[in-house]
Amino acid sequence: MSAARPLPSNRARTRRTSGFARRALARPAARLALALLTVWIVAAAIGPRLATLQRDGASSSLGLVLLGARDSAVIVGIVLALALPGGFAVGVLAGAGGRGRDTLLARGLEVASFWPTVLLVPILTSTLSLPRPLLLGLAVALGESLRTARMVRGEVQRQRFAPYVVAARALGASRIDVFRAHVVPHATTPILVAAAFAGATTIATDTAISFLGLAGGAPTSWGGALASSLAGGPPAIGPLVAAVATTAAFYVLAGALADAIDPRPFLGPR
């Protein structure tokens, strides 16, 4: 009896990855979004140093943009580190289990998704004594892990009944081998889309919560700069544009990645 189909070679995986990147960046909007996010990452890395070298320091519009980029990047990193692994694990368990386990986890995800992040932040603030970035990251990660779990669960269920999986089972491969070699690798693709959506949600949530003064506020964040500007502080046109542009770039990139993974729902005239 033949064994299950082996995993693709490194060369095949490289070709598949390069083809996926070409499809994802085929549109000018996706390339522009990637360029904006690259600028955001660079600004987060070297921005604080540049802000201190400015004559007006952190009080200038550019200084507020640079410092806010650092704050937002830290929170986005925390969210991705917490939400993606946890959501992937829950999604795999829900999609791979029997009907009872899948139903239980699916209903649990639906119930938990009713809690908005804006309500979680005051609850966590009153119960936990954590630094602001970790507090916000934990609150957003709870919601984004649910989104990731739902996406991974759907992909696992779709791959479980794919023709090549059925063929591998018919050739005598065990369920565990088929799941490890075929289902799980294909179920990782929604992680990219989930990461892009998580970035957009984190930037928007951080800006809104900082603007409202929740979680202690943060004058160096983009939302804190907007609140300070309304209270008579320095103008915050730069932080406003930066927050909107970064959030939009994440959403555009998420759409491009979703198209590249499965273009069928998006066929037709644009």
177-231 per-position pLDDT tens digit? 777 777 777 778 788 889 999 999 999 988 888 888 776 666 778 888 888 888 7
In a domain, 6, yes or no: no
In a domain, 205, yes or no: yes
- What is d(CA 50, CA 57) in angstroms, rounded to the nearest whole number? 9
Residue 10: its pLDDT value, please?
A: 54
In a domain, 116, yes or no: yes
Q: Given a cut of 90, is residue 172 above it in pLDDT?
A: no
4 pLDDT band, cuts 50/70/90, is very low
pTM for the full predicted model: 0.79
Closest CA to 140 of 55, 192, 80, 224: 80
What is the domain count for the chain?
Answer: 1
Q: Given a cut of 70, is residue 53 above it in pLDDT?
A: no
In a domain, 19, yes or no: no
> Which domain range does residue 157 map to?
34-260
In a domain, 75, yes or no: yes
CATH number of the structural domain spanning residue 255: 1.10.3720.10
In a domain, 221, yes or no: yes
Buried b (16+ CB within 10 A) or exposed e, 94-117: bbbeeeeebeebeeebeeeeeeeb
